Structure 1
Amino acid sequence: MRRQFLLASVGAIALAGSAFAADLPIAPPPPPVPIFSWTGLYLGLQVGYAWDHDSENLGLGPTPLLPVPLFIGSAFSTSPSGVIGGAHIGYNLQIGQWVAGIEGTADGTSLSQTVFDPISGINVSTKAPIQGSFRARAGVAWDRALIYVTGGAAFTSIHNDYSTFGLATESISKTRSGWTVGAGIEYAVTNNWSVRAEYRYADFGHYTDFPFAIGFFPFSLTSQHHLTQNQVQLGVSYKL
């Protein structure tokens, strides 16, 4: 009798618990984790290393009495290298897995080198202290990882110092524009912060300096240049 009573009591409690549980509201499932989007305005900093190649050709050049250059065939090159770092600002638009955007950069550099040309007896010191770019970016995103290519316009300031056995010196400064292309990978550590690694090649074209121009002689010294650059940089960005 007692055993049957206990079994009946347990059954009644179980039925009551089931009925009570059925009356409780069902909790909704947690919302899905949102997929990260690269769309938005961003700004940040970058630092890295760059190495230039400046092909030079020293010769006797034109003056009012001799308008046609006459080169003496003294060809050599300088390879300025150093640290490069600055800031960037840009905007990305993501459609599906594709990301497109624009970006501008401004960098200061320690690029410099001095080379002595034994044929002409001239020291040439080349520096490129400031440079920048305005580029398009396009890439493919896998959630928080972005692989991209980039290309556009590049700008640099160039300072060339010429000296002849210490007897004469002349400094010529100018700004050159050119083109740049490269590629990189970026990863969003949080919804706002991302880190990147990037390589770019730039070509600033051909230009000519006329140091030590002697107006009353039929010749002046002519220095032809072709400046190119390779650079690698690491950066951090904040998406607004």
Structure 2
Amino acid sequence: MAADLPYRAAPPPIFTQPAFAWTGFYAGVNAGDALGRDSIANKSTDLASTFSALNANKVRLNSNNFAGCGQIGYNYQLTPGNGVVLGIEADADYVGLDRKRRTQHTSNPTTPNEAGMSFIDADRYVGESSTDALFIVRGRAGYAFDRFLVYGTGGLVFPDVRTRSTYTSTETTYQDGKVIDVDSSTKKHFRLSGIQTGYAAGGGIEYALPQLESAGHVVSIRVEYLHYDLGQRTTKVDDTLRSKVHNECNLIHAGLNYKFSDL
């Protein structure tokens, strides 16, 4: 009787796609925009009115430029699929920020004296700040929704910053309307340059593309915002003039990463 029962084939095997994991080393590139927000605040005991006339009590040196960089890093996901992702990343960025501001104030010429001589005083101020490259070492912490990763990041930034400030007072002497002497003996200046240290913080969203994973490749795209700040540095120009320099920048960029392995 059993031989007359209908044949029932075994159900087909069920294949499930393994949960995606962000764990592994990666390297990539990104590009975007750098928005510099540098400033120089000047405080003088005997040139307060002069710096006010020059609008140089606080000189803002805003700038923006293309920013491009490469990065390497490592992620570790606590649980595949949905879960917490921790990582560390190192970036090398070119930002090319450069801004110079010049101001000048000329006093009214004096009335020619009996010898036909008159004088004009001209005060000039130049403030400049430039940053070519910066390096960032930072941690990352976020939460993965399978292939989507939302994260925050923070760490140390090491930009190569150059900040200059120059004040010059020039007295020009005229006789019968002709220049007979130019005296630029009054000059105050400072220069800060080299690798500085500050903090960087921000966040981003990253997505791992599924199209290339079947070929053994994992490529992800991301959008990220970073802010770095070097704080205030005070420099004493001389006994009558002190200046405070503040360098900060906002970075907005899109990136592409290649994940090497799940190790």
- Unaligned 5+ segments in structure 2 are 52-56, 106-122, 171-183
Root-mean-square deviation (CA, aligned residues, Å) is 2.9
Could you give the per-residue CA deviations for residues 168-222 of structure 1, whole angstroms, max 9, x where no partner exists?
8875422211111111000001341000000111111112456xx6xxxx64754
Q: CA deviation at 1:149?
A: 0.7
Contact 1:80 1:126 in 2 (8 A): no
Contact 1:101 1:137 in 2 (8 A): yes
Asked whether 1:38 is paired with 2:58, we answer no
Contact 2:85 2:144 in 1 (8 A): yes
Distance (Å, rounded) in 2 between the aligned partners of 1:197 and 1:70: 50
Q: CA deviation at 1:40?
A: 0.5
Residue of 75, 79, 84 corresponding to 2:62: 79
Amino acid at match of 1:153: L
Q: CA deviation at 1:59?
A: 4.1
Q: Please give the residue correspondences for 1:182-193 in structure 2 after superposition, counting only pairs within 5 Å.
A: 182-190=202-210, 191=213, 192-193=218-219
> Between Structure 1 and Structure 2, which shows a larger proportion of strand residues?
2
Residue of 93, 96, 111 corresponding to 1:107: 93
Asked whether 1:151 is paired with 2:151, we answer no
Amino acid at match of 2:96: S
Count of aligned residue pairs for this structure pair:
208
Q: CA deviation at 1:162?
A: 4.0
Distance (Å, rounded) in 1 between the aligned partners of 2:46 and 2:39: 18
Distance (Å, rounded) in 1 between the aligned partners of 2:103 and 2:38: 14
The match for 2:231 is 205
Amino acid at match of 2:66: V
Contact 1:184 1:196 in 2 (8 A): yes
Contact 1:76 1:117 in 2 (8 A): no
Distance (Å, rounded) in 1 between the aligned partners of 2:208 and 2:77: 14
Asked whether 1:138 is paired with 2:122, we answer no
The match for 1:124 is 127
SS of match in other structure, 1:129: strand
Q: CA deviation at 1:80?
A: 2.3
Q: CA deviation at 1:28?
A: 3.8
Q: 1:140 to 1:189 in 2, by over 3 A?
A: same
Q: CA deviation at 1:39?
A: 0.4
Q: CA deviation at 1:231?
A: 1.2
Could you give the per-residue CA deviations for residues 114-169 of structure 1, whole angstroms, max 9, x where no partner exists?
11244762112211101121111111111100011111111111112445569788
Distance (Å, rounded) in 2 between the aligned partners of 1:172 and 1:150: 29
Contact 1:200 1:232 in 2 (8 A): yes
Distance (Å, rounded) in 2 between the aligned partners of 1:201 and 1:103: 16
Contact 1:153 1:180 in 2 (8 A): yes
Contact 1:151 1:182 in 2 (8 A): yes
Distance (Å, rounded) in 2 between the aligned partners of 1:209 and 1:49: 30
Contact 2:31 2:66 in 1 (8 A): yes
Percent of pairs with identical residues: 29
Distance (Å, rounded) in 2 between the aligned partners of 1:219 and 1:141: 57
Q: 1:182 to 1:71 in 2, by over 3 A?
A: farther
Distance (Å, rounded) in 2 between the aligned partners of 1:55 and 1:104: 27
Contact 2:46 2:240 in 1 (8 A): no
Q: Please give the residue correspondences for 1:45-60 in structure 2 after superposition, counting only pairs within 5 Å.
A: 45-60=29-44
Contact 1:181 1:200 in 2 (8 A): yes
Q: CA deviation at 1:43?
A: 0.7
Q: Please give the residue correspondences for 1:211-226 in structure 2 after superposition, counting only pairs within 5 Å.
A: 219=239, 222-226=242-246
Contact 1:59 1:70 in 2 (8 A): no
Larger-gyration structure (1/2): 1
Range 73-82 or range 228-237, more displaced: 73-82
SS of match in other structure, 1:121: strand
